[in-house]
Structure 1
Amino acid sequence: MQEHDMSWVRTEMALAQPAPARERGAYAWVRKNLIGSVGDTVLTVLGVAIVLWIVPQVINWAFINAVWTGPDRTVCTTASQGGIQPDGWTGACWAFVNAKFGQFMFGTYPIEERWRPILVAILFVALLVPMLIPRVPRKGLNAILLFAALPVVAFFLLVGGVFGLPHVETPRWGGLLVTLSLSFVGIAASLPLGVILALGRRSKMPIVKILSVVFIETVRGIPLIVVLFFASVMLPLFLPEGVSFDKYLRALIGVSLFAAAYMAEVIRGGLQAIPKGQYEGADSLGLGYWQKMSLIVLPQALKLVIPGIVNTFIGMFKDTSLVLIISMFDLLGVVKQNFADANWATPQTAKSGLIFAAFVFWLFCFGMSRYSMYTERRLDTGYKR
């Protein structure tokens, strides 16, 4: 029997080789993403030109020519370098933000009691951060403390009237305190309500399905301003004599129900995207309806619609500014309210205040967006080639 020469056959795995020098590093990234073609090169040059034109002006306005401290508007209309400018002071008036910062954060909450919302904020961060870190253990206990225990503790701390704490009426709340509290409660309530409404709309029970459809389509068909106006002004007319709810509580309910209707449609889209085989597989295992939904269907559906869920959260966070229609002042409302202060009533202070409010809103919305992208990547367990 003739032997075959096998000397040409590799007996060891080839070691991984680094990519060619021209395919790695900063130059390779620039060549691939910025100057890969004539069109890319033109857009890159145009974008760099716009940035070089805008950024120096922004830095000059926000930092170099800005006024950081001062007792009143005169510091923002008189330049410390070169006297009065022809068109007024060309820098930001951060002195206005600095002077009104306490109101921007807490509204007219009593100064001597502001340690209470600060303590609530510390507890919120202390419970939220471990919840967002995947590898931190005891997520169940953390969720219970964050979504069940913290709201109760926050209510007694902020409202007072117990344990020797002075009572603080909710009309005195304002600023970022109102924005964050409305958003947190709305997010915590709208997600489970949205899940229930989405399941109800897909239910085979006619009454449950009809009620879910009527609620979702009715709420989604009217603006949030109308919902808030109805909750604040019209709802008390339908209540028995002597029965009333706090205006802040009515705003909470209105925002939560409004967001739940939109959340239900987002989650329904995720439920419809689940292949029929997943339902049939769960049925073949003998799982009941709630077991099938909680263990098989909903985890997959919620993972698919993370962008839509976070988009609803971001929209709700920004829509809290509409509570101004019912005489409640969130961050933007308090900023605009302080424009009427005769000591600070100038166009420069108005611009600076609005930009400060915009930056705070952007900071929270950008944070939610980036974390949702991180969560998507972490939960991406689809088939990979």
Structure 2
Amino acid sequence: MDWQRSLRSRLAARCGPKKSEQELKDEEMELFTKYYMEWKGERKSGNTSYVNIPRFYYRLPAEDEILLQKLREESRAVFLQRKSRELLDNEELQNLWFLLDKHQTSPMIGEEAMINYENFLKVGEKAGPKCKQFFTAKIFAKLLHNDPYGRISIMQFFNYVMRKVWLHQTRIGLSLYDVAGQGYLRESDLENYILELIPTLPQLDGLEKSFYSFYVCTAVRKFFFFLDPLRTGQYLNLDKDHNGMLSKEELSRYGTGTLTNIFLDRVFQECLTYDGEMDYKTYLDFVLALENRKEPAALQYIFKLLDIENKGYLNVFSLNYFFRAIQEQMKIHGQEPVSFQDVKDEIFDMVKPKDPYKISLQDLINSSQGDTVTSILIDLNGFWTYENREVLVASDNDNTADADDT
């Protein structure tokens, strides 16, 4: 049409000759820079200033800056109080339960009340702003199972809300012990938390105050052992000279007393000791590793002891080094020693490492046989249990059959 041709000609006249792609990019960058600098309040001189960038780093007050430390502590306390007020209190939880019960959707499944999505949203509107976060399609779908009417259990939903509230309350409570305000708890912080928690735990009503420190230490070491990538009475019984520390000879009585001397030597070589003796915290790491050998953190602990050459893998030499001690114990107990060659082949068959001559920590973890392999190498009782596993299984089956007959 004539009007279209006229429009194109006028546009071409205004835009001038056709520009190359690079020219268009340069022009775009020039315009962007111009408008950005104007928006930032900069002058046309081209001086770049960072005065308008918001502050994002605040250094921690030094130990001698008492006022700044107090200000930081008070501001954190106010922040945590505000977060605590955002959580549902007992009265609001009770009100939520009444609303859910009032809007339940028939029919019931046994004695369990159900609610459909339409009524679920109605409750969300009436429950108040604090509850808004729980009334989403995502949470409803998460709790939706095989109900033919497309409903969820009121009890399951309410328990979900309760757990979330409890977790947030615990998080806020733990944050109060984060003295440095860095978002994590040091060992001393967690010790303070658990020590003040003890009087509130009904299970520990009969615990004497003299044992508080042992309980706190045990709990804290367990947290740190399993959260880092990985029995207190026995410690007192092992400590024959009552000096609060364990020598290698005292530790050798641990469990069934069948850990090999070679393995115990490695424990005292690699672990932190004081004048050749082990303190309670080091002992707890040792116990947690041996009692949880299926866990990656425990396997990492034991693997470090078995890796005598510090190569990052176990080879035939290192396996033989530890198994010779098992063979020696078998001789002492009047048993015929088992051939290392047979044991070595069984270990490699169990683990199936990527390299047929080397077993890495990851190979042990991936095989799900790490607990068995480590038991074979460090504990005569563990080896005996593995070696006689078929006899033990048959014995268990016979006992089960006898019980069924009776």
Asked if these proteins are the same fold (TM beyond 0.5), I'd say no
TM-score under structure 2 length normalisation? 0.23
- Calculate the TM-score normalised by the size of structure 1: 0.24
Answer 1 or 2: which has greater helix percent. Answer: 1
